[in-house]
Structure 1
Amino acid sequence: MLRNFSVVVKTTIFLLTLQGMVCLRNVHLVVPESVERGSRVEMRCLYDLEQEVLYTVKWYRGDREFCRYSPRDVPPLKIFRIPGIDVDREATDAQRLSIQTATRTANGRYTCEVSADAPSFQTAQVHAHMYVVDLPQSGPEMQGLNQYYRAGMKLKVECSSHNSLPAANLSFFINSEPAHKQHVWHRVSPANGSLWNAYSTIQFVVQKHHFIRGKMKIRCTANIYSIYLKSNEQCALEERLPTTPVSLPEMNEVILYPIHRMADTADSADKIHGSSLFVLLIAIWHFTHLIDAN
């Protein structure tokens, strides 16, 4: 009895050791985070069987199995139809799954379940979520930015992105720096059908530091997951106040006075001396004539 028990224990230890040495490893799922509605989708379920044999690979959307690959079966691929998921048989195998056209019902959590064959029959599951989105037909629009601003003026600009599912995330940047959250307000509204419009408004008082070499750049960026990213950037100039020239008071009459300068050369002194002598001679001549007349 003890001998049989010992044999069972040794056999169990051997099988556990064998399972630890040769087993299913490194199972992971590659699924795009988001895809545009109507596009083709490629998924991969990657794994390492080491020396084991593959038994089956099963694919689930939510809790429903829609695809199974069993290499021992003929044919090895089986499709279980789910509305909105159209599997491309030609492009699907033990590690690849291809969906021809992504519909909104293809949105959800996907699971890949891999099972090894005997003796381990080890099974592993991995999950990933995929979003099916409707993208805007154009980039974000901006309204309200004036051509000129100066320090102390109020700036108010609205950015909008239309007709998408989900609504786009809008972000403002001032000179490539993210705007402060307290200056930005967001809202969404329904558009056509199940689509949405997104709106974002930025408002703040312009300061001197907002201008770099006389310019201020305002950019609005719209993104949806990692599949959509577009921006709209506009520029405003710093308004400079005109300088007023100093005006002199009006004068009704302008009187010009001659400018007198003192003689500072020898020639000037001689001229003054000659003039004085001439005046003296005239005076003497005049005085002599007065005496003769008497």
Structure 2
Amino acid sequence: MRMCSLNKIANLIKNYIFATCCVTLLSTSKCQGISNMSITMPAAVASGESVKMTCTYNLGTDPLYTVKWYKGSKEFFRYVPKELPHTRVFPWPGINVDVSQSGPNQVVLRDVQRYLSDKYRCEVSADAPSFHTKIVSAWLHVVYPPIGRPILSLEKRHYTIGDKLKGNCTSPPSSPPSNVTWYLNDKWMNSSFARSLDDDYEIGRGHKMRTTTVGLELEVNSFRVGKMRIRCVADLYGVFRTSTETILDEEKPRLASILSTFSSSPNDDEVLDEKCSVK
């Protein structure tokens, strides 16, 4: 009897140890692997400037094995903590890596040019025991920002309710061409047409500065205290933005038009003439 009790106790202890190990292994597997990974960079940067690309990630309990950066399918930077030096740059035309500011969480490119617009990827790999790998990506657009403000032209500056308002807005030259948007009293308006034209000069490698002309045609139906604000915005990827606006006045009724509504009828004129003739 005593031996049976001892065997039962031993089995219970074994089962407890086994269950504890399983829970520990499951918890450990959940902690392992790469999570919360993201890439941060501006959507657009002006040609000739520097750009910082940041890659954040959580390795859990795993050590870092390597971080690789790609432009399209071409690797241009690698960080390996087990190697000396930790960083390695792969030479590609036009890609200038600032090694002093690049490391396990970011890479900095200097003097970026228009042709470097592309999808950039960050690839992170964990070391043993998981060897997990994860990739995130984002687009970078290298642009020639708009030069100056949009040119806004309207048929007239005074309107009355029911009038047709017609106008054009031409964005300043940029590459690529800017997106042009109309606002009436801070309310977005649909454009009636749009066209894009090359400007007079090229900016290298076949890229031309271009302007965009957008038309607006609508019926005037409201004023704010006798005023109407028209604004034209030229925008490039939400990073470069310039605008022009003008205030239009409500046209006041003229005195002649008011008096004309009270003009005499032909019959009244005849009665007046009769009175004069009797006299």
TM range (shorter): 0.7 to 0.9
Structure 2: which 5+ runs fail to align?
Answer: 1-20, 203-207, 265-271
Q: 2:160 corresponds to which residue? A: 150
Q: CA deviation at 1:167?
A: 1.1
1:157-210: per-residue Cα shift (whole Å, max 9, x none)? 11001211121111112222222x3x621111122322211001112333xx32
- After TM superposition, list the pairs within 5 Å mapping 1:137-176 onto structure 2: 137-176=147-186
Q: 1:49 corresponds to which residue? A: 59
Q: 162, 168, 188: which one pairs with 2:196?
A: 188
Q: CA deviation at 1:16?
A: 7.7
Q: 2:15 corresponds to which residue? A: none
1:28-60: per-residue Cα shift (whole Å, max 9, x none)? 111221111111101111111222211111100
1:21 has 2:36 as partner: no
Cα distance between partner residues in 1 of 2:147 and 2:169: 15
Cα distance between partner residues in 2 of 1:205 and 1:15: 71
- After TM superposition, list the pairs within 5 Å mapping 1:1-294 onto structure 2: 18-179=28-189, 181=190, 184-191=192-199, 192-193=201-202, 194-206=208-220, 209-239=221-251, 240-242=253-255, 243-244=258-259
Cα distance between partner residues in 1 of 2:26 and 2:140: 37
Contact 1:56–1:115 under 8 Å retained in 2: yes
Partner SS for 1:39: coil
Cα distance between partner residues in 1 of 2:231 and 2:144: 23
AA partner of residue 186 (structure 1) = A
> TM-score under structure 2 normalisation?
0.77
Normalized per residue, which structure has more strand? 2
Cα distance between partner residues in 2 of 1:114 and 1:149: 61
**Identity level (%):** 32
| Structure index of larger Rg | 1
Cα distance between partner residues in 1 of 2:66 and 2:234: 43
Partner SS for 2:93: coil
| RMSD, matched Cα | 2.7
> TM-score under structure 1 normalisation?
0.74
Partner SS for 1:90: helix
The verdict on how the C-alpha distance between 1:229 and 1:89 changes in structure 2, with shifts beyond 3 A counting, is same
Structure 1: which 5+ runs fail to align?
Answer: 1-10, 256-294
Contact 1:83–1:105 under 8 Å retained in 2: no
Q: How many positions carry a matched residue from both structures?
A: 240
1:212-261: per-residue Cα shift (whole Å, max 9, x none)? 22222211111111212222111221222223287997999xx9xxxxxx
Partner SS for 1:244: helix
